[in-house]
Structure 1
Amino acid sequence: MIKSPLRFEIKSTVDMESILNRQLIGASVLPLERGGLNGVVQILPLVNIALVLIDLNKPVSFCAERKPGKYHFSINLSDNPTRDSLVAQGVSITRPAIFGFNEHLKDLDLQLSAGCRFCNVIVPESFFAEKLTEFGYFFDVKDVLSNFNILSNTFVSSHFALYLNELWQNLPSLALTPKLIEQEVLSTLIECFVSHDDRKVGVALARRERHEAALQVLALTNSSPTKPFEIQDLCSILHQSRTSLFNGCKEKFKMSPLQVVRRVRLHQVRHALMDAEFCIENNISGVSDIASYFGFIGRSHFARYYKNEFLEMPRQTLSNRRYSQQTF
C-alpha cells in the first residue's frame, strides 16, 4: 500500500533551494514580499515517477537550470487559480493548465503567488515515451511536447486537477499501491494531452535581454553568498547598462538590482542565524560574525535592514534558535 509522502518543513530560502536542487541545478529563490519564508514541500515517490506539492506563505520567484532526461508536468492546484495566479517562463497562467513540459526548455523561470499550490509530476523521458507508445499516442503528444509549454482544456480542470487534489488530500488512507497510483496519474495526464475539448495551448515567451540579466542577478548573488556586489560590478559582469539592469529587475521582481542582492543576502543571514550546523561548518558565531560573512558592513545598517525585512532584530532570531535547542 502507498506510504505517507516525504514531508519537508521550509523555514528559509536555503531550505527551499536544497529541495529544488534534487531535480534542478543551481536553484535560486527570491521572496517577493517582506517576511520570513515558511511552508511545506511534500514528495511522493512512486515506482518510476514522483509527485511534488509546494505550499508557501509568500509570493516567490524561482530560477534554475533543468536537468536533462525528465519531463516536468506542473499545475496550480489552488481553488482559485485566477486569484492565486503564477507566471511560468514569462506567461501569466490564471486558469487550470499543465505547463513546464516543453522538451526544449533549458531553465526554470517561475513566479508563484502566496496562495498557489504548485504540483509537479516528474516523469523520465524514456519511460514516458514507452507509455505513450503503449497507449498509441506517441506522435500526437510528442508534437505538443516539442512545440508548446502550456496546455489547457476541459479535461485538465475537470479530471486531472481534481484527481491530484483528491490524491494529496487522501494520502495515505488510500488502499492503493504505488504502481496503481502511477498508472492512474499517467493515464489521466496523457488523456489531457489528447483531449481537444476547449483546448488551448501556449508557448514559453522569448526572454528579453534585460529580464535575462535580472535572473542572472538573482542567480549570481545566490551562488556567491560572501561576495559583495555593487551596481557597477553587476553591470560589468552582466554587460548591461545601469538603466537596462534597473528596468529588468523592476519589471521582473518589482525591485532594484541592489534590493534583489540585499533580500537574497538577508534571507541567507536568517538561515544561518537559525542553523547552528551552518555556523559550525563555517566557523562563525553570533550576529556580527554572520552579518560580516554575508558581506554586511556596519552593524547598525545591517540591523535596520534585517528588522525592516523580518520585523524582528537579528539577535531575536538567534535567541529563538538557541531557546529551541535548549528545549529540544
Structure 2
Amino acid sequence: MLLVSMQANQALLIEGTRHPRWLSFTVEHTDNYGDHCHFGEALAPNALSGFNIKMKESFFKTSAGGNRIGAVLVDRSRIDDWSELMGAAEIFERMERNNTAILSPAAHRKLRQLMVLPEWQGVDVAHPFQADLLEAQLIESLSSKNSTLLRPVVKTHHSDLVQELVRYSFRSSTTPISLSAVCQTLFTTKTTLTVSCREMFGFGPMALMRRIRLQQVRDVLANPDLRQQLGCHTVQQVAVHFGFVSRNHFASAYRELFGEAPRTTLLASH
C-alpha cells in the first residue's frame, strides 16, 4: 500500500491509463469540489472515488482555486484478499460495479485523518502512516453501513468526445488548428463538440486546446533539457514552436493563466 498526496493551486486535467497493478482510492482534503469532474460527472462532497476494479483509464479534472487530493494505492492482489474476508464479498461486488461511494461525513473525516501527509517541501520524502488502520477504514467505508450511495461509472458520448479532444490536442500541439479541422478529425459537429467541452470545462474546445499548448510552453520554458531537445532557447522560439504567432496575445494569455510573464518562467529555470 502506498499513500500519496497531490496539491495544486489551479485546476488540473488528468488523463491516462491506470496502472494494472494498483487500485486508487482518492479523497479531496480541501472540500473544494466545485468543478471536480470524472468523465464529465460532478464529484459530490464526502466522496471516496477511483476504486473500480474494471476500469483501465482515468479522465478527470479538479476545481480551480486550489485543491489537495489524497490517494491510497492498493495492490490488486490485496483486493483479492479482501474478497475472502468475512463480509467482504459484497465490497468486491461494489468495486466491480461502481467507482464512487458517497460516505457519511464521519466516515469521510476518518479517512481524511488517516490519509494526511505533511506539506510538500519541494522534494518527495517517505513518511510513515498507519497502513493497517487505513486499510481497515477503506473496507469499512465501502460497506453498506457507511456508503450511503454508490455511483457507477457513467461514460457518456460527450465525455468520450472530450477525452478524444484532449488526446488530439497533445498529438497535434505544434500544428495550426481550426475548429473545423478538429471536428473533421474527431468525426463530430461544431455544436456537439462545443457543448460537450463546455459541459466539462466551462469553456469551448479552442480555449481548451490553447490552454493545453500554453501548459506545454510552460513545461519547456521551465526545463532546460526540453529546450535543448527542441532547439528552442528563447520565449519567442518556444511560443512559435507551439503555434503562437502573436507575441502580445501569447504573453497576455500566458500571464492570465499562470500569473506570471513567460520570461519569468524562463529565467527561473537557469
Pick the TM interval, shorter chain.
Answer: 0.7 to 0.9
Q: Give the distance between the partners of 2:108 and 2:132, measured in 1 at CA.
A: 19
- Give unpaired runs (5+ residues) of structure 2: 121-126
CA displacement at 1:267 relative to structure 2: 1.6
Q: Give the distance between the partners of 1:124 and 1:307, measured in 2 at CA.
A: 42
- Which digits, 9 at most, give the CA deviation of each residue in 1:205-234, with x for residues without a partner? 231x23322222222212443233221221
Partner residue, 1:17 = none
Q: Give the distance between the partners of 1:317 and 1:72, measured in 2 at CA.
A: 33
Which secondary structure does the structure 1 equivalent of 2:219 belong to?
helix
Q: Give the distance between the partners of 1:245 and 1:132, measured in 2 at CA.
A: 42
CA displacement at 1:95 relative to structure 2: 2.1
Partner residue, 1:189 = 138
**Is 1:206–2:155 an aligned residue pair?**
yes
Partner residue, 1:71 = 23
Given the superposition, is the C-alpha separation of residues 161 and 85 from structure 1 closer, same or farther in structure 2, using an over 3 Å criterion?
farther
Matches within 5 A, 1:94-113: 94-113=44-63
Q: In the alignment, is the contact (CA less than 8 A) between 1:84 and 1:116 conserved in 2?
A: no
Partner residue, 1:299 = 247
- The TM-score with structure 1 as length reference comes to 0.71
Partner residue, 1:164 = 115
Residue identity in the other structure for 1:296: F
- The TM-score with structure 2 as length reference comes to 0.85
Matches within 5 A, 1:1-328: 49-78=1-30, 80=31, 86-113=36-63, 114-133=65-84, 135-154=85-104, 156-165=107-116, 168-169=117-118, 181-197=130-146, 199-207=148-156, 209-321=157-269, 325=270
Q: In the alignment, is the contact (CA less than 8 A) between 1:85 and 1:116 conserved in 2?
A: no
Given the superposition, is the C-alpha separation of residues 309 and 97 from structure 1 closer, same or farther in structure 2, using an over 3 Å criterion?
closer
Q: Give the distance between the partners of 2:263 and 2:146, measured in 1 at CA.
A: 57
CA RMSD of the aligned region, Å? 2.6
CA displacement at 1:278 relative to structure 2: 1.0
**Comparing 237-246 and 225-234, the one that deviates more:** 225-234
CA displacement at 1:284 relative to structure 2: 1.7
Which secondary structure does the structure 2 equivalent of 1:200 belong to?
strand
Given the superposition, is the C-alpha separation of residues 307 and 69 from structure 1 closer, same or farther in structure 2, using an over 3 Å criterion?
closer
For these two proteins, the number of residue pairs brought into alignment is: 262
CA displacement at 1:137 relative to structure 2: 3.5
- Give unpaired runs (5+ residues) of structure 1: 1-48, 172-176
Partner residue, 2:123 = none
CA displacement at 1:314 relative to structure 2: 2.7
